[in-house]
Amino acid sequence: MREYGWAPFRRRLGAGILLLVASAGPAMGQGMRGEVRVSTGFLEARPLVRDSLLDGDVPGGGQQRRLDDGTLVTCIQGNFCRWYRADDVDQIVVTTQEFLATGWTGLQGFSTKVHLRGRYGSDDFWPQTSQQFEVVSAFADYDQSDYRVRAGRLFRTDGLGYYNFDGASFLWRGWNPLWVEVYGGWGLARGLNDPVNGGLVSQADALSPDKRGLILGAEAGGRIGRIASGRGSYQREIRTDRLGLYSERVAFDGRAFLDRTVFELSGEYDLSFRKLNELRLRLNTPIASNFEIVAEARRHSPYFGLWTIWGAFSPVGFDEGRMTLAWSEPGLGLGLQVGGAYRNYDEADAGPTNSEIRDDGWRAFANADIRRGAWFASGGYRAEAGFGAARFGGDFRGGRTFGEDTYVSLRGSRTQTFGEFRLNEQLVSGIGLDAAVRVGEFSLNAGAAVYRIETEERPSEGDWTQFRLYSSLSYRFGLEPGSDSRDNGGN
């Protein structure tokens, strides 16, 4: 474990707060609200490591063999026999610090928002700990009745997913019930507050881009009273030197209401690969007193940007149908759900022709929940089989509330996995305790769990017990303009 200094984090956090206050002018006098949160987790893990022996040191012949202890290995004649095994138990600490705030000035419609995150104190083993400090978002917002302007590090959620970028956006809604928005700036890698040519991507991909991307997009939508609504999006990302295309995509989603029946249609299309990534049709309708049915048809094909080589491997898509039947009785505080899904994968056109890997999968589930006064309980069972593994198991949770954001609960689970490529057969049983309490503007969440992990077909692994702990302490501060009581929100 490496040592971590708090001084750089304090300097950057302080700079972010000063920027928030300075850009907002008299924000402290007009209104400011926010939250400071520190979260810590502890868990034990046994990382998977690759092991090998010379082909001649493993008895038997053929590609699939077993070691003396029964472990299944894959051999290449005249070369090595290889397999994955669990390493020694490693104890991991994960710590994050977050600061969220919104400030308002005396200028009507103007505000500034910031969301900062630190990972000081986390072990190196945990993903993304090399990015000890990040600005999730930090922007100025000027919002009027007909339009809105934003500039800074922005985040968006639309038919193309969740992403953020450094730039600006302009929203026009003066043509009620229609609206249109345009945006642009320097892009960030999806799921990372870092450019595609930054250190985080280069650590994971030896062929990472050498130039950052410029992102340009537009979105338009509208509403027809309470009957229907929809929107369409277009986005293009190019290299900053404009010598190459990183991505070009469109998306749409719409919703229509017919009495109590809801129809939803959404899709995503990759213009660069000329491929449909997502098409989803969903129907939600009551069929009898207290009964509701949800049916969904889906077409999915994985998406990869042009800046990564993974899209060249022709990722396999699938077609899927789902159905859920739900019943609820508000007077009893009781709800039940049963459902299932079937998935069929496209032909991979790869691998040995005599392989018997299945090209379909199914899942089934049943859930129940009840709430009576301050007491609550829920439980469920699920079964799933696919091309690479099968999994069966259930879970439960029950507890009692003691007021706003204050509760204690007990949870447990038991899951058995078959045929997992690297783990094979495994049974995981666990039980845990969770609690939360709120006192004024302080909130504390904490929990502990213990899991028993038992393996089959891998005698060298051995059964073991895993412990997990977590805690989160947050403090909410500040007032909204014109408010005489503290607000609970952050950003």
C-beta contacts of 314-320 below 8 A and 24+ residues apart = 314/349, 314/350, 316/345, 316/346, 316/347, 316/348, 317/345, 317/346, 318/343, 318/344, 318/345, 318/346, 319/343, 319/344, 320/296, 320/344
> Which of 28-42, 128-142, 145-159, 346-360 has the least mean pLDDT?
346-360
180 Cβ contact partners less than 8 Å away, ≥ 6 residues apart: 171, 172, 218, 219, 220, 221
Q: Is the pLDDT of residue 203 over 90?
A: no
Pick 8 or 15 by higher pLDDT: 15
The stretch 267-287 carries a mean pLDDT of: 95
Q: What is the pLDDT of residue 418?
A: 83
Distance CA 452, CA 465 (A): 5
Q: pLDDT by residue (tens digit) across 339-397?
A: 999 999 998 776 655 566 788 999 999 999 999 999 999 999 999 998 778 899 999 99
The stretch 151-165 carries a mean pLDDT of: 90
Distance CA 72, CA 219 (A): 53
The stretch 388-407 carries a mean pLDDT of: 93
Q: pLDDT by residue (tens digit) across 283-313?
A: 999 998 899 999 999 999 999 888 888 777 7
Q: pLDDT by residue (tens digit) across 50-71?
A: 899 998 889 888 888 888 877 8
Q: pLDDT by residue (tens digit) across 235-260?
A: 999 998 888 899 999 999 999 999 89
